A = this chain, B = another copy of it.
Amino acid sequence: MTKQYGGSPEETDLRRADSLAREIFSDVANKWALLIIEGLGERTLRFSALRDEVEGISHKMLTQNLRTLERNGLVERRVYPTVPPRVEYTLTEPGRALRATVDAMCEWTQRHLGHIDASRRRFDA
């Protein structure tokens, strides 16, 4: 992904887009962000229900990752003025599009379980 840019306005735009793409990749290419996207799926869930879906995630990690996903426009957060306030999370269209690649990654994991298990045993021996 190494690229060389000069100093023209077009090149400044290209540099900005490239740096933005790296930031976004960094935000989404992590286990928790991807498991949250997978856990939400097509549904609208409250924080506690979502936490039940994403096994092993801490309150803090879920809060931080939801904030990052919301900032990037992948998750929509809706607050209803009840007492106490009800807060719900849903994937946006770009969030749902990303979910397709997470699904592919989960399928890849299932398909290569045997190969990876055997490779780990050899490596650890």
Contact = CB atoms under 8 A, between A and B. Distances in A.
Contact of A2 (B53, B110, B118, B124): B53
Interface residues of A, number: 49
Nearest to A104: B101
Given A1-B53, A2-B53, A101 B112 contact: no
Given A29-B30, A108-B101, A2 B116 contact: no
Contact of A31 (B25, B94, B120): B25
Interface string A94-120: 100110110011101111110111111
Interface stretch (A58-66, A70-78, A83-91): A70-78
Contacts of A105: 25, 28-29, 98, 101
Nearest to A71: B123
